[in-house]
Chains A and B, each alone.
Chain A
Amino acid sequence: MATATFTPTLSTSAPPDVTDTYVHYFGTLAISSATDTYATGGLVCSFAGVKLDSSATPTDVRVWDETAGIGLTYQYIKGSNLTNGKLVIRGQYPDSGIGAGRFPLPEVANALALNDATLAIDTAATAGKLKFEAIFRKGK
């Protein structure tokens, strides 16, 4: 059991899209191991092993889950290069101990195993249903 990481794989059925200024890459995210754990601040998601035409950091990465069963949100935090961006995972708070009012969405707890039954974070990635769209500027 170690700190988990995500590895992107480009889709073979959804090729990159090219617009005036950007290239949009589509694919799926795999996890290092279902028993690996979450780390506060997000899990490293390296695009280094992906065959991209650009070596720059992405302008934006959107991640979504296409399974019906799990309701979590995914936020990509850009790094300084292709190898050290991070994926932050959030859920909601139950009301216990929180009190009245509104509050931001809480991050998954540090050291929680991805296959912990509480959140079953591994489900979508294991099923190949954790998808991404990574947007890179042309010529960078």
Chain B
Amino acid sequence: MATGTFTATVSATRGPDVTDRYFHYYGDLAVSAAGDTYTTGGAVCTIAGKKLIGRGVPTKVEIWDEKAAAQCAYQFVVGSNLTNGKIVIRGQQPTATPGKSGSVAFAEFGSGVAFNAANMGVSAATLKFKATFRK
């Protein structure tokens, strides 16, 4: 068991979309190991793929889970290069202290909790991504 990471691999079969100024790459996200653990602030995500071209870091990365069960919210935090972006994972926390607003922010996955922890199912998710890079 170690600190978990993600690898985003650009699909070899679903070609990138090319628009006027951007490449839009699609692919799959894999966790390092089901028993690896999450870190507050996000798990490091490396974007990899032989066909990856484009300028610098992505402008935007969207992540979604194609499985129906155990949905969490995934947020990509852009890093300074392709190897140090982070993925923040959130869920709801029904026992959180109510705020003045009557609502509270979504809670981040617990630090040190394994990706295969019961109820969250991150390691069982079918995670896909779309990464947008400047040409």
B-contacting residues of A (Cβ < 8 Å)? 13-19, 24, 26, 38, 64-73, 90-97, 105-109, 112, 116, 118-120, 131, 133
Pair B20/A119 contact, Cβ less than 8 Å? no
Question: Given A71-B106, A119-B105, A19 and B19 touching (CB < 8 A)?
Answer: yes
Interface assignment of B33: CB less than 8 Å from any CB of chain A: no
Question: Given A109-B103, A133-B60, A18 and B75 touching (CB < 8 A)?
Answer: no
In-complex Cβ contact of A71 among B20, B21, B100, B107 (8 A): B107
Q: Interface 1/0s, chain B 95-129, versus A by CB < 8 A?
A: 11111111111111000000000000000000000
Min CB gap A35→B, angstroms:
15
Pair A65/B75 contact, Cβ less than 8 Å? yes
Assembled-state Cα–Cα distance A14/B55 (Å): 11
Min CB gap A36→B, angstroms:
15
Q: Classify the interface of chain B: helix, strand, loop or mixed.
A: loop
Interface assignment of B22: CB less than 8 Å from any CB of chain A: yes
Pair A91/B73 contact, Cβ less than 8 Å? no
Supply 19 A–B pairs (Cβ within 8 Å), ascending by A.
Answer: A13-B134, A14-B59, A17-B19, A18-B19, A26-B60, A65-B75, A66-B76, A66-B78, A68-B88, A91-B104, A93-B103, A94-B97, A94-B98, A106-B103, A112-B100, A116-B101, A118-B101, A119-B105, A133-B60
